[in-house]
Amino acid sequence: MEKINVLFNEEEILKREEEIANSLYEKFQDEEVTFVCTLKGAVFFACDLLKRYKGNAKIEFLRVSSYEGESSTGKINLKLPLKAENINGKNVVVLEDIVDTGYTLSYINNYINEMNPKSLTTCTLLDKKARRMVQIDPDYSGFVIDDLFVIGYGLDYDQKYRNLPYIGVVEK
Ligand code: IMP
Ligand code: MG
Write the DSSP string, 100-146.
SSSHHHHHHHHHHHTT--SEEEEEEEEE-GGG-SS----SEEEEE--
Arithmetic mean of pLDDT over the chain: 94
Which listed residue (30, 48, 97, 100) is catalytic?
Answer: 100
pLDDT of residue 171: 85
127 labelled catalytic:
no
pLDDT tens string 60-88: 999 998 866 545 667 899 999 999 999 99
**Cα 100 to middle of ligand 1, angstroms:** 5
User: Could you read off the pLDDT of 47-62 as tens digits, one per residue?
Assistant: 999 999 999 999 999 9
Mean pLDDT of 108-126: 98
Q: Is the dihedral of CA 46, 49, 50, 56 positive or negative?
A: negative
Check residue 74 and give its pLDDT: 75
Q: What is the pTM of this model?
A: 0.96
Output the pLDDT for position 172.
74
Share of the chain above pLDDT 90, in %: 90
